[in-house]
Structure 1
Amino acid sequence: MKCIQLLIILSLFSIFAYPQAPATEVRAVWLTTNWGLDWPTQGASVSAQKEELIKILDKLKNDNFNVVLFQTRAHGRVFYKSKIEGLSPFFNQSEDFDPLDFTITECHKRGMECHAWLITYPMEKATIKYTGKGKRRKATIVNDKPDYYKAIEDRWYLDPGRPESRQRIRSIVKEIVSNYDVDGIHFDYIRYPSNTGKFPDDDTYKKYGNGKTLQDWRRENINTLVTEVYDEVKDIKKWVQVSSSPLGRYKVLPEISRNDGWTAYETVFQDAGYWMRSGKHDLVFPMMYHRERYFYPFLDDWVANSNGRIVVPGLGVYQMDEQNWPLKDIQDQMKYIRENKVKGQAYFRTGNVLSNLKGIRDSIQVYYPTPAKLPPLTWLDDVSPNSPTNLQIQKDKEGYLNIAWEAPDSTEDFTYNIYVSATETFDKENPSFILTTGLRANNYSFLPSIGEFGFYYFLTASDRYHNESVVCFPAYFVHSEEEH
């Protein structure tokens, strides 16, 4: 079976050769919890739900992903223990189980970051429920402050023009960042509904418009939220990254007709380019769920507007199912990203990747042959940490190599990267030397391959901003095939 799998991967590689993988790259995936699309199985026991997530994360780690965008809030329900909003019904109400905390811990065990993915403005369905007396009432979440919400089509939305809406989102973000070791806050649906011509905010505009055009006022409402959240996050934990997933097309481009579909800036009033230019975003994950002329020029436009921030195009793997895209469309996009030195890619969504839809997981395993470090956030901090010390290696009776070291002399939190080379020299930017990245503990154990005889092991520390130290003094270990 392993031989067959290897032949499949080699055939993929020969048919579709990717540019060499870099040593530093964002490799992200959206993990959807709403409706249990990726996780969890509704009604399963807590232990079963935990085991289910562990298996998912093990597979992502095996495929060399390094960022999990974990859906933490959806439509006014949350996936953590909150004093502001209720827990999603897709999880068991257990005092001992906090889905967000568990996910963060398990991601960190595997050297992956966990970013809290929040559905921003959309709330619950705007269904009308009948009481026993024949009276009608609004859906439950909006009952407390009905003036804060607007209904359009079949859903309630927080009104972006109201200061109370901004405060609601800010309080949720503050609660998460203050109480959890998240690596990032990731906003989704941080926009007006697509059918904005019907969004009933005339009263809010009249009260708060201050002479601006409706379009400029709406963009300013979202810009204000982004600015306030970013500043508050950095006041609490400067290293926590702030990002969002705007529509894949930022603005109308000269070569693309305005009638060719919606854009972030013109249609739903997302000015994510401004968020990066004004220094209020660390990353942007545009939802590039399009093909050909609706993908490539718009990705170039995002990079041109990035202000040195990290652009991570989101690839619509799900379209191979819903729109019957061929695998080659996604492969072409992956290749273009590498060729143009874009700093990473993200995939929507986890279930489509791990089910190997049309062979996408096989392709990703070729695309990610080795682990990767994360790009440094130099606009937040550009000082490299001190190196770890006292690197030691021992082999146990089961044949595992146990590598241990001492942390740099500092109160900071670090992750660690291990490199391996047959000689005393190596290149940190050559991915072929990387053994593992993102370690949180001061030790690492693995079973070396038979036939490895003598190797040098190198170690670096990275801070929470992904700045990497110089290499500590290496350790040399002689492997003996007879010992295995």
Structure 2
Amino acid sequence: MQELRGVWIPNLPHSRVLKSPKNIAQSMDFLQEYGFNVIFPVMWNQGYTLYPSQRMQQEGYPTIFPHFAKNNFDPLDILIKEAHRRNIAVIPWFEYGFAASPIVNGGHLIKKNPHWLALDQGGNKVIHGGLTWMNSLHPEVQQFMLDLILEVVQNYPIDGIQGDDRFPAMPIGGGYDETTLKIYQQEYGNRAKPPLNVKDQQWMQWRANQLTVFLRRLYFKVKAINPNLIVSMAPAVYPFCYHHLLQDSQTWLNIGIVDLLHPQFYRENFKRYEIEVNKIHLSLDATQKAKISPGIAFRANGVHLTSNDILKCVVLNRKKGLQGQVFFHYEGLLANNQANAIALKTKGGYNQIASLPAFCRATNDT
């Protein structure tokens, strides 16, 4: 059987997995026992990497998230070793993407590089989802993120890389800084100015196109280093992701610059989840559907998805020809005496070992 069975692993304090090397090993034991074959561990969070980064050091930033500096271990290195021993693939998740910090002033990233700040039409910092954002279209910001990702690609035997609803993305209110204006004027003339209406169709499409061009660049940079690596993206649901974060995920699929797409179908019950899957089923061809493994949240909009509804979601994905599913997040498997993990194993087919689909199997040895 081939099926992607993934789970996101967030940073402390949201999950205990990364607290210690022992926790990592025990968590990989658990995932192996319950039939999972790929993890998406966070590696970029709150302006910190969760691996020792030379690129961060060059920029004058902390080289690793404080917990790991204090306890002197590299969680990515340990995750890879422990996961690969159990035939679990590792696809690092660059969670924060172009978001700088939950701190309103943008934290240490913006303090050192204030010109990286995203601005709205009033000249105010762009805050979305409780986070202050960097300018996703600034060449320096794009190169910085590209460097972080390629640093991991070059230095670790990973199986892929992943962006999400913050990467590549730009809140719809952004794009009114001097750097973006210059890029815009290179295309439309020295007197051109972006529309003040953030929802102007041409203005939305132009900014979305810039993000698509960046993703294409990232995709081929990764493939040039290792063509076997998976470029995975987990945007919000389309077209919400386009209307709010300028993520043109449909185009990403159409032009082939993403290997796996995990739209965040975070819904509080099966019926609402089914609506999203049916949209995908009707709008994509078989080749595109084979790249889809939706994100399923154990808790969505303040409501915990029942184990029965989780099983229905898994069955529906199989029925509709999707690639599998990724659960958000690890701790939801442990809740209520591991009720969800047990349900997946005893009633959801996770007791049968599933290999990753051929094009996204682990190809690296540690």
Alignment match of 1:281 (pick from 258, 262, 270): 258
State how far apart, in whole Å, the 1-side matches of 2:8 and 2:23 are: 16
For 2:40, the equivalent position in structure 1 comes to 69
The structure where strand makes up a greater share of residues is 1
Asked whether the 8 Å contact 2:34–2:342 carries over to 1, the reply is no
Say if 1:50 and 1:168 are closer, same or farther in 2 by CA, change over 3 A. same
State how far apart, in whole Å, the 1-side matches of 2:141 and 2:305 are: 38
Task: Return the TM-score normalized by structure 1.
Answer: 0.63
Alignment match of 1:208 (pick from 178, 183, 192): 183
Alignment match of 1:140 (pick from 108, 111, 121): 108
Superposed displacement of residue 339, structure 1 = 2.0
Superposed displacement of residue 334, structure 1 = 1.7
For 1:374, the equivalent position in structure 2 comes to 356
Alignment match of 2:139 (pick from 163, 184, 199): 163
State how far apart, in whole Å, the 2-side matches of 1:172 and 1:414 are: 22
Task: Return the TM-score normalized by structure 2.
Answer: 0.82
State how far apart, in whole Å, the 1-side matches of 2:78 and 2:292 are: 28
Question: Is the counterpart of residue 265 in structure 1 residue 242 in structure 2?
Answer: yes
Asked whether the 8 Å contact 2:8–2:326 carries over to 1, the reply is yes
Asked whether the 8 Å contact 1:38–1:350 carries over to 2, the reply is no
Spell out the pairing of 1:42-441 with structure 2 (5 A cutoff): 49-85=20-56, 86-93=63-70, 97-119=73-95, 120-127=97-104, 139-150=107-118, 151-153=125-127, 155-188=131-164, 189-192=166-169, 196-197=172-173, 199=174, 201-209=176-184, 210-211=187-188, 213-247=202-236, 249-251=237-239, 263-290=240-267, 291=269, 294-303=272-281, 304-305=283-284, 307-308=287-288, 309-319=290-300, 322-356=302-336, 359-366=339-346, 367=348, 368-377=350-359
Superposed displacement of residue 286, structure 1 = 0.9
Per-residue displacement from partner, 1:445-471 (whole Å, max 9, x unpaired)? xxxxxxxxxxxxxxxxxxxxxxxxxxx
State how far apart, in whole Å, the 1-side matches of 2:213 and 2:13 are: 31
Asked whether the 8 Å contact 2:83–2:89 carries over to 1, the reply is yes
Question: 339-348 or 65-74: which moved more?
Answer: 339-348
Task: Name the SS for the 1:347 alignment partner.
Answer: strand
State how far apart, in whole Å, the 2-side matches of 1:340 and 1:334 are: 10
**Matched residue type, 2:297:** G
State how far apart, in whole Å, the 1-side matches of 2:85 and 2:35 are: 14
Q: Which runs of 5+ in 1 are unaligned?
A: 1-22, 42-48, 129-137, 252-262, 382-412, 416-439, 442-484
Say if 1:317 and 1:300 are closer, same or farther in 2 by CA, change over 3 A. same
The structure where helix makes up a greater share of residues is 2
**Matched residue type, 1:264:** C
Say if 1:352 and 1:293 are closer, same or farther in 2 by CA, change over 3 A. closer
Q: Which of 1 and 2 has higher RCO (CA within 8 Å, sep 6+)? A: 2
Say if 1:185 and 1:348 are closer, same or farther in 2 by CA, change over 3 A. same
Asked whether the 8 Å contact 2:24–2:78 carries over to 1, the reply is no
Superposed displacement of residue 318, structure 1 = 2.4
Say if 1:216 and 1:200 are closer, same or farther in 2 by CA, change over 3 A. closer
State how far apart, in whole Å, the 2-side matches of 1:173 and 1:365 are: 34
State how far apart, in whole Å, the 2-side matches of 1:227 and 1:176 are: 18
Superposed displacement of residue 156, structure 1 = 2.6
Identity of aligned pairs, percent?
22
Q: Which has the larger radius of gyration?
A: 1
Task: Name the SS for the 1:117 alignment partner.
Answer: coil
State how far apart, in whole Å, the 2-side matches of 1:118 and 1:351 are: 19
For 1:384, the equivalent position in structure 2 comes to none
Say if 1:140 and 1:343 are closer, same or farther in 2 by CA, change over 3 A. closer
State how far apart, in whole Å, the 2-side matches of 1:60 and 1:166 are: 34
State how far apart, in whole Å, the 1-side matches of 2:117 and 2:213 are: 18
Asked whether the 8 Å contact 1:310–1:343 carries over to 2, the reply is yes
State how far apart, in whole Å, the 2-side matches of 1:299 and 1:357 are: 29
**Matched residue type, 2:274:** Y
Asked whether the 8 Å contact 2:162–2:233 carries over to 1, the reply is yes
For 1:28, the equivalent position in structure 2 comes to 6
Per-residue displacement from partner, 1:427-457 (whole Å, max 9, x unpaired)? xxxxxxxxxxxxx69xxxxxxxxxxxxxxxx
State how far apart, in whole Å, the 2-side matches of 1:350 and 1:186 are: 17
State how far apart, in whole Å, the 2-side matches of 1:162 and 1:217 are: 14
> What's the Cα RMSD here?
2.6
For 1:467, the equivalent position in structure 2 comes to none
Asked whether the 8 Å contact 1:24–1:373 carries over to 2, the reply is yes
Superposed displacement of residue 152, structure 1 = 2.6
